[in-house]
Amino acid sequence: MGLLLILLMTAFYSYMESKQIEENKGKLALEISKTVSFMPTIIESFESSNPSKTIQPLAEKIRKETGAEFVVVGNLDGTRYSHPLKSMIGKKMKGGDNDKAIKKGEYYVSKAKGSLGPSIRGKSPILNKSGEVIGVVSVGFLLEDVNQQITKNIKKVLLVSIVALFISFFGSMLLGRDIRKDTLGLEPYEIAALYKEKNAVLHGVKEGILAINKDGFITMMNQPAKKLLHIKGSVRHIKVEGLFPSDYLYEVLNAGNPVVDKELIWKDKTVIVNCTPLFDENGISGVVASFRDKTEIEQMVNTISEVKSYSEDLRAQTHEYTNKLYVLSGLLQLGEFEQAIAMIQAETQILQVQNTILFNQIKDSKVQAILLGKLGKASEKKIKFEIVTESYLDHLPTHMKLSNLIVILGNLIDNAFEAVTESNPPIVKFFATDIGSDIIFEVSDNGRGISENDIPQLFERGFTLKNGDKPRGFGLSNAEEAVVEMNGMIEVQTNPDSGTIFTVYLPKQDERSQGRA
């Protein structure tokens, strides 16, 4: 391919060079002829009895100084007044190409065979003071000399081409050897097959795969990884830290130790990351990371867990009212009608207060259902669970799902119930409001409070202040994840003397949906 290219370029350049030399010679001949035709001495000599006496020496001087083969001046009949061969003076000019200059007064370049042989000629008419044509100037260069110059230039081009051909041949050998070393001796068709297989594997697996080089620039990312990390468009040659948290990738680059099953919370997903360093002869050359989506499984497990807890709350409520019905039945059978009436009135009064707040001020059915279950559970555990009378909550926005509300409110209220087990009396309060741009939930208790040193770790997965063999430390972590998923925030206030207050702020507007719109 290189040989063919060099031959084509040589042929093209030679052709263009020959054309350029001929064109330049023609232009030079024409410019010399014009200069001679405009010379006053030449024009005035036409009025003398022997024009050749003045014109011949001047024409020869110009011919020698310019390198032209001939400078011939003739009259309207084509009779020569000058010529390199003196014997040709007074004879007719040859070539038959004077007509346009003599008859039309044109300046032009022509090719013709004259007394000295084939030549390139520049023709110019000689005009007198009245603007009439009185003669013609013909300046020429022999085609033989032009061809010799073309051949000489082409030889130079061929020499350069041969040198370039040998250099390219040896360069190709060295380059081929280097490429074979880089490609592990694989042929191009084998590399193409491997590339196709790699693409099929990368885009066929469900796991996201990402590769970076030692400078932190992304070299490859498959579609599952883009989808998982909410990334669109091409990311090649973009710094990885500009797209998502990537400290763990640089840890692997610096230390060379793989990272296994690291959890990464990114936007609305929990991602499991595995990182493996890449090595070459110079050391660590990059990192390959794979991503698995844990969110869906985690959400399903959390939902099942919280629905189970919700069912337990309803069971507790049913059990509590069943016990009260048994007591009421016993009183009626014993004839203790006054005590039965007093018990009914007391329960009715309590229910009226609760129901007034729960059904008149808390209008969202999802929150009502959660609170009803917790009221029954509190009654069974002998805990005073109060819904603050100032609470008011309209119907919640549609993007606030029941599963997330169960996770948030269920965990906060259950934690408050456990916190007051040693309090006397045990009191847990719930407050809700939708005034402003946020939905606010507040759960407070009169337990022993939380140490200031423990608050920074409170929402870490697996951290717990409770004793026992049962795995704990997931409730508050799940609650915080649900809050973050809805773009909200959660605050903690604690006092060893007055208990703990958890406050949740959830924006009414779904900012992620607005961003997608």
Is the per-residue pLDDT at 379 higher than 90? no
At residue 80, does pLDDT exceed 50? yes
Q: Are 327 and 434 within one domain?
A: yes
Residues 312, 448 within the same domain: yes
Is the CB of residue 240 less than 8 Å from the CB of residue 218?
yes
Is residue 182 a part of any domain in this protein?
no
User: What DSSP assignment string belongs to 372-414?
Assistant: HHHHHHHHHTT-EEEE-TT-BB-PPPTTS-HHHHHHHHHHHHH
- Do β-strands 427-433 and 384-387 pair in parallel, antiparallel, or remain unpaired? parallel
Q: Confirm whether 79 is domain-assigned.
A: yes
- Give me the domain span that covers residue 269: 207-293
Same domain? For 345 and 419 the reply is: yes
| Rounded mean pLDDT, 59-88 | 89
Q: Is the pLDDT of residue 2 over 60?
A: no
pLDDT at 191 over 60: yes
What does the pLDDT read at residue 353?
58
434 band by pLDDT with thresholds 50, 70 and 90: very high
Domain's final residue, options 125, 149, 173: 149
Q: Mean pLDDT lowest for which of 323-332, 384-393, 495-504?
A: 323-332
pLDDT greater than 60 at residue 14: yes
Confidence of residue 517 (pLDDT cuts 50, 70, 90): very low
Would you say residue 487 has pLDDT above 70? yes
Question: What pLDDT score does 125 carry?
Answer: 93
Q: Please indicate, yes or no, whether residues 48 and 114 belong to a single structural domain of this protein.
A: yes
Q: What's the whole-number mean pLDDT along residues 383-411?
A: 87
Give the confidence band of 31 by pLDDT, cuts at 50, 70, 90. Answer: very high
Q: Please give the average per-residue pLDDT across 315-339, as a whole number.
A: 70
Half-sphere exposure of 139 (CA within 13 A, CB side): 28
Please give the pLDDT value at position 57: 92
What is the number of structural domains in the chain? 3
Same-domain status, 305 and 222: no
pLDDT given at position 466: 62
Predicted local distance difference test score (pLDDT) of residue 204: 59
Is the pLDDT confidence value at 49 over 60?
yes
> Tokens in use for 46?
């036409």
- List, for residues 254-288, the tens digit of each pLDDT value: 888 888 877 777 766 777 888 888 887 778 888 88
Domain membership flag for residue 88: yes
**Are residue 227 and residue 267 in the same domain, yes or no?**
yes
Give a yes or no: residue 357 inside a domain: yes
User: Considering the domain boundaries, does residue 177 fall inside one?
Assistant: no
Q: Which residue has the higher pLDDT, 434 or 335?
A: 434
pLDDT value at residue 307: 60
Residues 84 and 96 in one domain: yes
Last residue of a domain, one of 149, 179, 198: 149
My answer on whether 318 and 259 are in the same domain is no
Q: Which of 88-92, 312-316, 342-346 has the lowest mean pLDDT?
A: 312-316
Residue 478 has pLDDT above 80, yes or no: yes
When pLDDT is cut at 50, 70 and 90, the band that residue 515 belongs to is very low
Q: Which of 293, 311, 331 is the last residue of a domain?
A: 293
Looking up residue 304, the CATH number of its domain turns out to be 3.30.565.10
194 vs 50, higher pLDDT: 50
Which has the minimum average pLDDT: 36-45, 109-118, 145-154?
A: 145-154
pLDDT at 331: 72
User: Alpha carbon of 496 to those of 5, 16, 252, 402, 451: distances in Å?
Assistant: 88, 97, 43, 33, 8
Query: Of the spans 218-232, 310-324, 333-347, 426-440, which averages the highest pLDDT?
Result: 426-440
Residue 184 inside a domain? The answer is: no
256-271 b/e with 16+ CB inside 10 Å = b?
Answer: eeebeeeebebeebbb
Q: Chain-wide mean pLDDT for the chain?
A: 80
CA 320 – CA 324 distance, rounded (Å): 6
Length of the chain: 517
Q: Which of 39-48, 209-218, 223-232, 493-502 has the highest mean pLDDT?
A: 39-48
Residue-level pLDDT at 3:
63
Domain match, 214 and 347 both: no
Evaluate if residue 413 carries a pLDDT over 60: yes
CATH code of the domain in which 39 resides: 3.30.450.20
pLDDT value at 302 more than 90: no
Pairing mode of beta strands 259-266, 117-127: unpaired
Give yes or no: residues 280 and 308 share one domain: no
Higher pLDDT, 160 or 509: 509
Judge whether 353 lies within some domain. Answer: yes
pLDDT reported for residue 156: 77
Note whether 249 and 277 are within 8 A (CB).
no
The verdict on 386 and 252 lying in the same domain is no
Residue 126: pLDDT band by 50, 70, 90 thresholds? very high
pTM score > 0.75 for this model? no
> Which SS3 state, helix, strand or coil, does residue 171 take?
helix
Residue 73 lies in a domain: yes
Q: Please indicate, yes or no, whether residues 69 and 215 belong to a single structural domain of this protein.
A: no
| Residue 67 in this model has a pLDDT that exceeds 50 | yes
What's the confidence (pLDDT) of residue 503? 95
